[in-house]
Structure 1
Amino acid sequence: MPTKEKTNGRFWLNGSSYMTTGKKQRSRLPPLRTSILATEKTYASSILGVYDVLSTVSKLRRFDPNVPLDPPFKVEIVSPRSGTLRTASNLEIASHCAINEITETDLVILPSIQLDTNQWIRGQDPEITQWLKEMHENGALLCSICSGVFLLAETGLLDGHEATLHWAHEEHFRCVFPDININMERLLVTSGGNLRFVMGGGSSSWQDLLIYLISRFVGYPAARAVCNFYAIPWNFEKQTPFYIFTPSTDHGDSAILHVQKWLDRNFSYQNPVVEMYKQAGMPQRSFLRRFQKATGQTPIQYVQQLRVDRGKRLLEQTNLPIEDVAWKVGYEDPTFFRRLFKRLTGVSPGVYRRNITVPNFADLELMIAE
């Protein structure tokens, strides 16, 4: 069986040694066999994006001498059956081979998958699950992108370990896989012995995953060269800035639902919690108990989440000063709003606006023309 251990800053993968410190670039070593799993449920973007970047690393050497001359990755698209398949994006992709033809690989990458109505049925892909277990046992590093972690979780290998995925699937994932520790703070999570599980949270986290893998196995200078060439930014280390507040409304408590609908229209109301008692038409203690049972949050936590979420929309869609944004969502003290915003999102309002706002390209073109 191939050896797999970490010694003196080097990562031993299937009998070969690779740098993990990023201080030196990977010298002449066999390319890492990298198997990207494609199924009818996977999205084409995370398949093709991964394939394109990892396949062309060595071609960037003409722009940066830190990139190795020899290709560091031998990339292939694999699937349960060889041949052409139609992905969730309705795009046909040809796989290089079937998974039953692969007895050993270095890296397995599980792209983002489509989850209809956010439902995952346990045991639906036994062939894939068994193959992933075998690849892991034979020394492979297992990686997932976004919802691809559901496939990885099916193996049971993540039980007791930390993982991440897209925020929209968090609640469902926790219900289906209660033994896995979800970290929704970070966009990229590594866990397991010798960090043999690597998971990206967002739909576009395949970019973060690739830069991590290049840095880990080829070296930080090469990873920086890839970032520069493909213009891949690392704006956030956390996933929390992207979180959209979607409170539970299917709890069956009509009185609490009425309060939620009222608050959605009146989130900037002064002293909103007091008014929430009145809207519910019940004693304060009963309201607090029922509200937390229905939503999973205290009234003040709910109000703060809602206000910060509305503040994020204003930061994205307007040029209002942060002081005005704070006032519009219900806070007279902009300093308090800034502190609350950073506590809930992990970044300040100013950093959020700079990094997540899509530029108005029409205005940019006018500026250039002038």
Structure 2
Amino acid sequence: MTSDQTMSVSVVALPDTGVATMFGVLDVLNSFGIMGIGDPDAAPPFHAQIVGTEAGPLMGVSGVPVPVARSVADIDRTDIVIVPSIVLGPAGWKRGRYPEIVEWATRMHDQGALLCSACSGIFLLAETGLFDDRDVTVHYDYASHLQAAHPAVRIHPERALLVAGIRDELITSGASTTWHDLVLYLTGRFAGASVAQETARMFALQWHQDGLAPYMVFEGRSDHGDAVVADAQDWLRTHFSVATPVEQMVVRSGLAERTFKRRFTDATGVSPLVYAQRIRIEEAKRRLERTEDSVEAIGWHIGYEDPAFFRRLFKRVTGLSPAAYRKRYRVPLITAAG
């Protein structure tokens, strides 16, 4: 879908907003006509401005002053609301701190606006209740915090971008630089695919087409309080490559096999087999990033004698083959002269 009119975009600034995401979104959406993107004779697709509880300078969480153009109290209508990344403290998200923003965003949605979040901006937008029973994404490190704060939303941290709602009006992007996916989606939707591609080329923006699973680090739940399961987890961290890790954990526990597997799954959220596989894949990822070892040698090192099985498992977990993962995420060699 494209529009011949300029869309009004309100980018919400809060005291705990991450300014890098906010200014990135603002710069790209306001670039049309300035950077020579799209039809020079057409109206720009977007006019984005920073809004907040009050107009005037706002000190961002990183110590950078943010110029808030307008108070939401003075905005009766907007086409798109974007809440950029919010920096969470150690205690997570505390609800109810910005009721005027929540009420305004709800009112804008009722009038037809799209509600968009970049990364952790969903914490605020979810307070509208509009995302309950909807699929959303967020930074994978914030997923458990979001679930605690908003248990009714369905969280998919492995996804880079999710579009929900009857009108496709509830849009969430995931970790950090997936704001690229958000602005490219909006550009494609309202200015056309060719303009979105031109924008991506101009700014070197990337679609995270493989999702975010390759970035996610499996650590395993450890706050369950089951001492037997905790002992098995500790043992597995250094013995993941043994031939039969699940069977050996069962023997180590002193429990019946069925009992151990049930307790392990209840405590960690995954079965012992899946847990062992994820620990092995994390080690494989590190070796692909940092060593010259062959894929076959890495598979053997983590406990898989069948290279084909290792490749299939790795792709199922990360979304990429081992070779593709190494090509994309390998730590570059940095040399210094002298």
TM-score, with length taken from structure 1: 0.86
Q: How many residues align?
A: 338
Provide the rounded CA distance (Å) in 1 between the counterparts of 2:100 and 2:330.
42
What displacement does 1:348 show?
1.6
1:28-107 superposed matches below 5 A:
29-61=4-36, 69-107=42-80
Q: Establish whether residue 332 from structure 1 lines up as the match of residue 300 from structure 2.
A: no
**2:173 is matched with which residue?**
200
* Amino acid of the structure 1 residue aligned with 2:216: Y
Tell me the secondary structure at the aligned position of residue 35 of structure 2: helix
CA deviation profile, 1:195-252 (whole Å, cap 9, x unmatched): 0011101111111111111111111111111111111222534222221102111111
Q: Establish whether residue 119 from structure 1 lines up as the match of residue 92 from structure 2.
A: yes
Unaligned runs of 5+ in 1: 1-9, 11-18, 20-25
Provide the rounded CA distance (Å) in 2 between the counterparts of 1:193 and 1:154.
19
Tell me the secondary structure at the aligned position of residue 122 of structure 1: coil
What displacement does 1:274 show?
1.6
Q: Tell me which of 308, 313, 321 is aligned to 2:281.
A: 308
Q: Establish whether residue 323 from structure 1 lines up as the match of residue 304 from structure 2.
A: no
CA contact under 8 A between 2:140 and 2:174: conserved in structure 1? yes
Once the two structures are overlaid, the 10-residue window that deviates more, 229-238 or 301-310, is: 229-238
Tell me the secondary structure at the aligned position of residue 170 of structure 1: helix
Q: Tell me which of 246, 255, 269 is aligned to 2:219.
A: 246
CA deviation profile, 1:325-354 (whole Å, cap 9, x unmatched): 211211111111111111112222222222
**Structure 1: 4+ residue segments shifted above 4 A:** 64-69
1:127-142 superposed matches below 5 A:
127-142=100-115
TM-score, with length taken from structure 2: 0.93
What displacement does 1:177 show?
2.2
What displacement does 1:119 show?
2.1
Provide the rounded CA distance (Å) in 1 between the counterparts of 2:138 and 2:100.
23
Taking only the aligned residue pairs, the percentage that are identical comes to 38
Unaligned runs of 5+ in 2: none
| Closer, same or farther: CA 194–237 of 1 in aligned 2, 3 Å | farther
**2:150 is matched with which residue?**
177
* Amino acid of the structure 2 residue aligned with 1:340: L
**1:296 is matched with which residue?**
269
CA contact under 8 A between 1:58 and 1:72: conserved in structure 2? no
Provide the rounded CA distance (Å) in 2 between the counterparts of 1:338 and 1:124.
47
Structure 1 vs Structure 2 CA RMSD: 2.1
CA contact under 8 A between 1:163 and 1:181: conserved in structure 2? yes
| Closer, same or farther: CA 361–280 of 1 in aligned 2, 3 Å | same
CA contact under 8 A between 2:160 and 2:208: conserved in structure 1? no
Q: Establish whether residue 345 from structure 1 lines up as the match of residue 318 from structure 2.
A: yes
Q: Tell me which of 264, 267, 288 is aligned to 2:237.
A: 264
CA contact under 8 A between 2:137 and 2:159: conserved in structure 1? yes
CA contact under 8 A between 1:60 and 1:226: conserved in structure 2? no
Tell me the secondary structure at the aligned position of residue 167 of structure 2: helix
Q: Tell me which of 116, 126, 134 is aligned to 1:143.
A: 116
